[in-house]
Amino acid sequence: MLRVLLLVESEVSKRCHACGPKRRGRWSFPVLQEFSKLTHVNSFPVVFLFHILCAGVLSVLVGHPLDLVKVRMQTQHHVDDSEKKGTFEILREILAKEGFVGMYKGVGAPIVAVAPIWATSFWGFDTGMKLVRSIFEIPAGTPLPIAQICLAGGFSALPTAVVMVPSERIKCILQMQDKDESKRKYKGVGDCFSQIYKESGIGGLYKGTALTLFRDIPACITYFGVYEMSKQKLMEAQGATTPGIGTALIAGALAGMSFWPVAQPMDTLKSRYQTAEDG
C-alpha cells in the first residue's frame, strides 16, 4: 500500500509542477493539491493521512516480528560465537518463552510514529525534488533524471529522521528488555519515553541520529533510484505510458529489496548503539 501511495505522490507531483503555481490548489503538498482540486474536499489531508496510517500500521504488523528477530541478532555482540543464535533459533526461542505476544514487543513505538514518519518522508521527497529542480535549473514539467530523483530521495531521509530516531530508539530498547516482567525497567512506550527524557534529556531520545542518517541517506538514494528505474522499465515492457498498481507494487518490492543490503551494516551499528548503556 505504501508503494502505491508513493506512485500516486510521484505522478501527481509531476502534474502539479507541470500546471505551474497558478493552477496549484490550497495545499503545498502536491498530491493533496491535486486531490483537493479534483474532489473539492478541503479536508482531504485528513483522509490522505488516514490512508498512510492504515498502510503503515499493516506494514508494521507484518514486519515487526522479523524486525524483533533482526534487532536481537544484531545485539549478540557480547555473546561468545559458539552461543550466538540464528534467525530461526531466535524465532523459536521467542515463541517458546514469550509466546506469540512476545513477537510484538516494542510495537507501540513504530505504530505511534508510522503516520508522521511516512507523511514526513513524502513531504521530504517532494521538497527534495523542488530543491533539485532549483539547483540544476530543471524546468517545471520536465521529468527528473534518475540521478536527481536519487538525490531527492536521499534528502527525504533528513526530515524523516526527526520522527524516526526517537521511535526506533524506544522500539529497540523495549525489544531488548528481559522477558521477566519483574526485571523490566520500562512498562511501555510512554514510560520508556519519559524515563529516557528524565535521565538524558532530548539528546537521549535522539541517541543514534548520526548512524540513522548514515543508514538512511544512501539507502533512500538506492530505494528511490531502483523504484524509478524499475517503474520505467516495467512500463516500457508493457508499452504503457502511465504506471498501474501492479507496476507500483513490483517496483516497490524491488526497491525494498535493494534498500536493506545498503542499510543493514549501519542498521546493525545503530541497534547496538541505541541499546547500549549511556557512558
- Report the mean per-residue pLDDT for the chain: 83
- Amino acid (one-letter) located at 32: L
* Structure confidence at residue 45 as a pLDDT band (50, 70, 90): low
Contact assessment for residue 221 and residue 150, using Cβ atoms and an 8 Å cutoff: yes
Q: Which residues contact 94 (CB under 8 A, 6 or more apart)?
A: 68, 69, 72, 102, 103
Closest CA to 223 of 277, 169, 155, 172: 155
Region 98-115 average pLDDT: 88
Residue 63 near residue 114, CB atoms below 8 Å: no
The pLDDT of residue 171 is 94
Q: What is the pTM of this model?
A: 0.78
What is the Rg, in whole angstroms, of the alpha carbon atoms belonging to the chain? 21
pLDDT surpasses 90 at 161: yes
Average pLDDT of the segment spanning 195-213: 96
| Chain centroid offset of residue 85 CA | 27
| Burial status of residue 236 (CB atoms within 10 A of its CB: 0-12, 13-18, 19 or more) | exposed
49 burial (CB, 10 Å; 0-12 / 13-18 / 19+) is: middle
Q: What is the pLDDT of residue 34?
A: 45
Is residue 192 scored above 90 in pLDDT?
A: yes
Q: Which amino acid is at 227?
A: Y
- 8-state DSSP, 185: S
Instruction: For residue range 140-155, list pLDDT tens digits in order.
Output: 889 899 999 999 999 9
Rounded to an integer, what is the distance from CA 273 to the centroid of its chain? 20
Residue 193 to residue 277: CA distance in whole angstroms: 16
Provide the pLDDT for residue 19. 46
pLDDT at position 198 is 96
* Burial (Cβ within 10 Å: 0-12, 13-18, ≥19) of residue 32: buried
Lowest mean pLDDT among 23-27, 85-89, 169-173, 254-258: 23-27
Say what the pLDDT of residue 38 is.
Answer: 42
Number of other CB atoms surrounding residue 165 within 10 Å: 23
Residue keyed to cell 502534474: 15
- Residue 46's pLDDT is 64
The reported pLDDT for the residue numbered 182 is: 75
How high is the pLDDT of residue 174?
Answer: 92
pLDDT tens for residues 222-276? Answer: 999 999 999 999 999 999 988 888 898 899 999 999 999 999 999 999 999 999 9
Average pLDDT over residues 167-190: 87
Lookup result for grid cell 515463541? 95
What interhelical angle do 44-74 and 2-19 show, nearest 10?
A: 130
Percent of the chain with pLDDT over 70: 80
- Quickly list DSSP for 161-172: HHHHHHHHHHHH
Instruction: Give the model confidence (pLDDT) of 56-80 as tens digits.
Output: 888 889 899 999 999 999 988 776 6
- As a whole number of angstroms, the distance between CA 146 and CA 139 comes to 16
